[in-house]
Amino acid sequence: MSLKLVSVNIERSMHLPRVEAFLRRERPDVLCLQELCERDIPFFEALMGSRMSFAAMARYPGEGPDNVVGVGLIARETALADVCAEYYSGSAGSIREMTFLNTDGKRGADPLSIAEVMLSASVGGFRIAVTHLNVTPFGTSTPYQRESAGKLIGLAEAQARQAGDLLLAGDFNAPRGRATFDLIAEHFIDGIPAQHTTSIDGSLHRAGDIPFMVDGLFHTPGYRLEDVVLSTGVSDHCALSCRLSRT
């Protein structure tokens, strides 16, 4: 058995028509979303024909009271099983409004204002998780990001031991080749082929073209990823798609 999986940072509600067109064309069995607005959950539930599991991370400022953003996991026309939301910074009970910092003239989110969570579930005999690691100035590997990554790795390894295997998808904000990415890759297989050097869609991202491979599909040895594709024209990050099966 195999599943078609898509993972994408959708940048809140900024690109919903593009995202919808992509999902109607690709028809994934499982969808992992980052920067999902809670208000848009019904939109994706209608597209996929099932219920979304959601874990909140922050409240995005300037978008009114209905402004909660987080990660989501949904399967096409089937219910997820054994859903688990594990916070590795912050908690579900203390979701804050996101604040911003200026570093060398660059505005970025303050990671301390954003809860971090790994949302996992079982579908079709596979254990799948989604997360969104904290952003850093210019893609640098900071002590706080590495600390968060270490906590994430611990949670992911525990899920993998319990389930037998795990696919961990998401936006890791850690460019391939730098310390945080390498830390994760020491524990899980990097499922993105080496010829891909960026997962940023420069035509839609506010920073333009930057050579950062920050979105990932990490997995344990018992899983195989095939037909891995990075698609542009969907959001400010490329949409990752793959065929997931067992070795």
pLDDT tens figures, 164-188:
999 999 999 999 999 999 999 999 9
Question: CB 27: neighbour CB atoms within 10 A?
Answer: 11
The residues facing 226 across adjacent strands are 243
Q: What is the percentage of the chain residues whose pLDDT exceeds 70?
A: 100
Residue 132 belongs to domain spanning: 3-246
User: In angstroms, rounded to a whole number, what is the distance separating the alpha carbons of residues 162 and 111?
Assistant: 30
Burial zone of 147 (CB within 10 Å; 0-12 exposed, 13-18 middle, 19+ buried): middle
Residue with tokens 């420069």: 202
CATH number at residue 20: 3.60.10.10
H helix intervals, 39-167 = 41-48, 143-163
pTM score, two decimals? 0.97
pLDDT tens figures, 82-117:
999 999 999 999 999 999 988 777 788 999 999 999
H or E, element range at 36:
strand 30-37
Amino acid at 97: E
Number of domains in the chain: 1
